């Protein structure tokens, strides 16, 4: 399998096929990121299309093909922040995020379903600066270095922010979790 760096290098040199593979490889991850950032399914879909259009148009600006993942997530983050600035919209805690997903009953049981529901709500309630690092870390499994590149900060700042995000999340979840121990 060709690496991202190979594909990104080929794409920069004009290989559209490489770009199509990168699109297929990243569209879901970017959708997850945008959905968690915005809590709006339609907006997340639009962001993904917009990001790839920009990536295609700005291919010449891809100086480090080996950092394609950070680059594409940085574009997605900027688009999400821009969208949030325009909409100035926050999701109330008593309103479920618009994720167009029905949590199906599974072997994990009702408790796991309840955990999932609570966590979605709690995450949507977090400050955006906390939410973005937590989503990049927990959902995208990115390293501190990659998150630092995406959010244009230092690794130690990322480490600190992830911790604060977890503390804030814990404070929201504590009453529910403590009651079900």
* Phi (first) and psi of residue 75, to 5 degrees: -65, -45
Rounded Cα distance between 124 and 96, Å, is 9
Which tokens belong to 98?
A: 């618009």
For residues 88 and 104, which CB has a smaller minimum distance to another protein in the complex? 104
Which of 44, 15, 18 lies closest to 29, judged by CA? 44
In the chain, the largest separation of any two C-alpha atoms, in whole Å, equals 57
For residues 24 and 94, which CB has a smaller minimum distance to another protein in the complex? 24
For residues 90 and 174, which CB has a smaller minimum distance to another protein in the complex? 174
Rounded Cα distance between 6 and 3, Å, is 5
Q: Where do contacts with another protein occur on this chain (CB under 8 A)? A: 1-2, 15-17, 19-21, 23-25, 27-28, 31-32, 35, 41, 45, 48-49, 52-53, 56, 99-101, 103, 108, 112, 115-116, 119-120, 137-139, 144, 159, 162-163, 166-167, 169-170, 173-174, 177-178, 181
Provide the minimum distance between the beta carbon of 42 and another protein in the complex, in angstroms, as a whole number: 9
């Amino acid at each position: 399998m060709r690496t991202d760096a190979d594909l990104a290098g080929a794409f920069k040199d004009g290989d559209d096929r490489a770009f199509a593979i990168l699109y297929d490889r990243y569209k879901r991850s970017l959708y997850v990121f945008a959905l968690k950032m915005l809590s709006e399914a339609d907006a997340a879909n639009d962001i993904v299309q917009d990001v790839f259009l920009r990536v295609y148009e700005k291919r010449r600006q891809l100086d480090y093909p080996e950092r394609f993942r950070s680059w594409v997530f940085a574009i997605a983050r900027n688009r999400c922040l821009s969208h949030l600035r325009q909409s100035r919209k926050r999701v109330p805690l008593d309103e479920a995020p618009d994720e167009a997903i029905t949590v199906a009953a599974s072997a994990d049981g009702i408790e796991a379903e309840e955990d999932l529901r609570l966590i979605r709500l709690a995450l949507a309630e977090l400050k955006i600066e906390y939410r973005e690092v937590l989503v990049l870390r927990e959902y995208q499994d990115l390293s501190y270095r990659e998150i630092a590149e995406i959010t244009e900060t230092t690794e130690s700042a990322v480490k600190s922010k992830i911790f604060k995000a977890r503390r804030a999340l814990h404070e929201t979840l504590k009453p529910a979790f403590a009651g079900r121990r």
